[in-house]
Every structure is written in structure tokens, then in C-alpha cells.
Amino acid sequence: MNVFSKSKESGFTLIELIVVIIIMGVLASATTVFIKFSTVIYSEATDRDQLVSSARFAIERLNREVRNALPNSLRLDPTKQCLEFTPIIGSSIYTDIPVFPDNKSNTITVIESNALPNSSGGFSAIVYPLTFDDVYPIIESDSDKIHAINNIVSTGEQWVITLNDDVVFSAHSPTQRIYFIETNNSVNYCVLNNTLTRNNILMADNINSALSSFDVMEATLQRNAMVQIHLQFEKNDENITFENEVQVLNVP
């Protein structure tokens, strides 16, 4: 007697295949949405970090330089989007300078200080600047408070500074303070074309120029001068506003 055995072939039915395809489609869609949102979150966080880093660098650099600005050298352009000031290279206490009605002289004697310039070339001495007009005269030869240095000689505890010309200063400083600056070398920070520049060198971008500005509060007998900085950073719908105030030396 012959026995015939039938082997059954197992497989998926059409309905099972359709169900599997639907489930895989749902999983793929959910995975795609998850990856998309994760990418968007990462991109937004990266943009925010870049804005904060760029803003902190620019603000810190600006703060340090403004704090070292020559007293009363701060001035703004009419739009308040450009801030100009003159950095201090060094300072000291003078013991002898020609002051009206003294006769003109080309020598100044100051107390030795580590804050004095290392060399004489390209520097000027300035005494008792009260306004930015004293620092930025329309005609350089008209200034009676700022004069170019020709030579510096160390003589024990005092330094003798020789000026380019015989001069007479208009007034004494109440603290006998004398400052040294680089001749005709001011610093300009400007918020223009959605960037922050320092002497036309890019410091930060992604700035809304229309919503950013500088302001200067003049010094009074009760407080130092104050620079107010308002910068609005924007990138890919990320907005960060920086409001900063910097005190400036008020000891001319």
C-alpha cells in the first residue's frame, strides 16, 4: 500500500502583507518626524549657541576697551550707531609741565611708572581733557591739551619727556594726571549693515542694525560717565537682546 504525504507550504496572506506594509509605513513616518524634530531642535540650539558666543565675545571686547578709554574721549555719530573713543596707552603723575601763563617749553617731567609707553614714537601726551573736542580738535595745531612726544628719557624716579614743539598747556589737571595715547589712533565701533565692526573689521554679525545702538551718559559730580550698549542678535527666528552698561574713567 503506497502512502502519499502532502507537504504544506507556509507563507503570508495578502492581508498580512498589507498589514505589515501599513505598520512599517507608520513606523517610518514616525521615525522621520522624530528625526526631523531632533534635527530642528539641534539646529536651533546650535544657532542660539553661536549667537550667544558671538555676542559675548563682542561685548567683552567692547567692555574692556571702553573701560580703558581716555576720559571724555567718547563720542557718537548722529545715528548713535557708531561709538568712537581713544584708548589709553599709559598714564602717570606729572611734577612739572608748562601751564599758562608760564612760558612755552618742550619738556615735561613725570613720575616713573610702568604705565608709561615703552618708546616715544607715535605717541602724544594729553592733560585735562574735558570734552571730546579737546581730544579731536578740528585742526591738530589748535589743541592746547594734546601734544606729540619726541623723546622719553628715564632719570631715576622721574622721566623727562621732550615734545615736538614748545607748548603751553591751558590748565592743570586737579590730580596732576597725564595720559599717553597713540597719535591720531581712535577706535570706532559701528553697528551697520547687520554687523558690528571695529575700525571696519568684523566683530560680530547677525545683528539687527535698526534695533541696535549706543548711548553715552556724560560724567557728573556724582557718577562716572556711562556707555549704554543695546545689541539685537537675530538668526533663523532666534532673537537675543543684550543690554549692557560700561562705566568709564572720570579722572581727567
Does position 19 have pLDDT exceeding 70, yes or no? yes
165, 159 contact by CB (below 8 A): no
pLDDT > 70 in the chain, percent: 85
State the pLDDT confidence band at 106, using cuts at 50, 70 and 90.
very high
Q: What is the pLDDT of residues 213-252, one digit of tens each?
A: 999 988 777 778 889 999 998 877 778 888 888 888 777 7
Q: Which of 16-25, 40-49, 232-241 is predicted least confidently?
A: 40-49
* Average pLDDT estimate for 18-39: 73
Q: What is the pLDDT of residues 196-216, one digit of tens each?
A: 999 999 998 889 999 999 999
SS3 content of the chain, % helix, strand, coil (to 5): 25, 40, 35
Across-strand partners of 76?
83
8-state DSSP, 174 = T
88, 117 contact by CB (below 8 A): no
Sheet of 82-85: strands edge to edge? 75-76, 82-85, 187-192, 195-198, 201-204
| Maximum Cα–Cα distance across the chain | 145
Tell me the pTM: 0.77
What does each C-alpha distance from 199 to 85, 132, 163, 186 come to in angstroms? Answer: 11, 18, 28, 9
Cβ partners under 8 Å of residue 202, min gap 6:
195, 196
Does position 126 have pLDDT exceeding 80, yes or no? yes
* Average pLDDT estimate for 182-207: 91
State the pLDDT confidence band at 39, using cuts at 50, 70 and 90.
low
- Specify burial of residue 115 (Cβ count, 10 A radius: 0-12, 13-18, 19+): exposed
Does position 4 have pLDDT exceeding 60, yes or no? no
pLDDT reported for residue 139: 67
| pLDDT averaged over every residue in the chain | 83
Q: Nearest CA to 203 among 20, 62, 32, 97?
A: 62
Higher-pLDDT residue of 138, 59: 59
SS3 32: helix
* Domains with residue ranges and CATH for the chain: 47-84+186-248 (no CATH), 88-182 (2.40.30)
Amino acid at the residue 122: G
Does position 2 have pLDDT exceeding 70, yes or no? no
226, 47 contact by CB (below 8 A): no
Across-strand partners of 242?
231
214, 82 contact by CB (below 8 A): yes
Does position 9 have pLDDT exceeding 60, yes or no? no
What is the grid cell recorded at 207? 545683528
What does each C-alpha distance from 90 to 112, 129, 182 come to in angstroms? Answer: 11, 15, 10
pLDDT reported for residue 7: 52
